[in-house]
Amino acid sequence: MADGSPQEHRKGQSCPPQKGFVMSRSENAIAAVIGLLSIPVMLLNFGGAIIGGIWLTILGNWGLLVLGLSSIFISSFGISFALMPGLLLFSAPGVFAMEKGRYVIGLLAALLGNLWTDAVMTVWCVGCFVVALGYYSDGSVWPYLLWAYGMATGPWTYMAAREGQDAVGSTLAAFGACMGVIGIMGVILFASHPSIIDITIAFCIPISVVLILQVGMAIALVKSKDTFLSPA
């Protein structure tokens, strides 16, 4: 029997939606897709560069080996320096705007910051393959592709791991870099005489998908706030 208490839900009255439900559901869907696609990424991350390095050692291609090993020590610093303008000009102001309740401005600034990161990522990853394939003359191209994969993705996976599992944006960016590099490898293996434009397009398609996911997650997060687009 109804006791008239305000906590009681009357018949036909739906429960209020829980905050964060839409966001958690989208995150679960994204996590499921990433989990499926991450299988080849994990295999390449685990053994790609090692196999490629051993193979190049057998071939005696010391120049590319030294270049790749050197990049381990300088790439993270160089890439961090290249990312700094995007952080100062877009990402940091975007966070400040979001904290002040200016969500549209914050989203636009975050988008520009992500575009800057993607531009740096594209130049680095495509450049690694262009340089690595410059050492290739004949025989199997696989050791060069595997070594280039390690050179291209190593800095991004390292920076994502350094920021921790809570840095969803960095993890997605590193995953996009890995998928983009796999796209480059596919074009090189199956296309006839691919150009730099071809491999750049192959790389940009996966990271564009990741960018859309990042923007969608940011919009869902902002919509979960009561003051979204509300008058000041």
Query: Per residue in 198-231, pLDDT tens?
Result: 999 999 999 999 899 888 877 877 777 654 444 4
First to last CA, the chain: 45
CA distance 20 to 223: 9
- pLDDT of amino acid 160: 86
Residues of the chain with pLDDT under 50: 1-2, 6-12, 14, 16-23, 227-232
- pLDDT of amino acid 47: 85
Question: Which pair of tokens denotes residue 170?
Answer: 């960095």
Determine the residue type at 162: R
pTM of the model: 0.79
- pLDDT of amino acid 132: 95
CA distance 214 to 110: 10
Nearest to 218 by CA among 124, 138, 114: 114
CA distance 7 to 181: 55
In eight-state DSSP terms, residue 90 is I
CA distance 19 to 134: 53
CA distance 170 to 18: 28
List Cα–Cα distances, 225 to 19, 188, 189, in angstroms: 9, 46, 47
Burial class (CB in 10 A: 0-12, 13-18, 19+), 188: buried
- pLDDT of amino acid 25: 62
HSE toward the beta carbon, residue 78, CA cutoff 13 A = 13
Contact 158, 164 (CB under 8 A): no
The alpha carbon dihedral of 57, 60, 62, 68 has a sign of negative
Nearest to 40 by CA among 166, 186, 144, 162: 186
- What digits encode the pLDDT tens for the residues 140-168? 999 999 999 999 999 998 888 888 766 77
- pLDDT of amino acid 170: 82
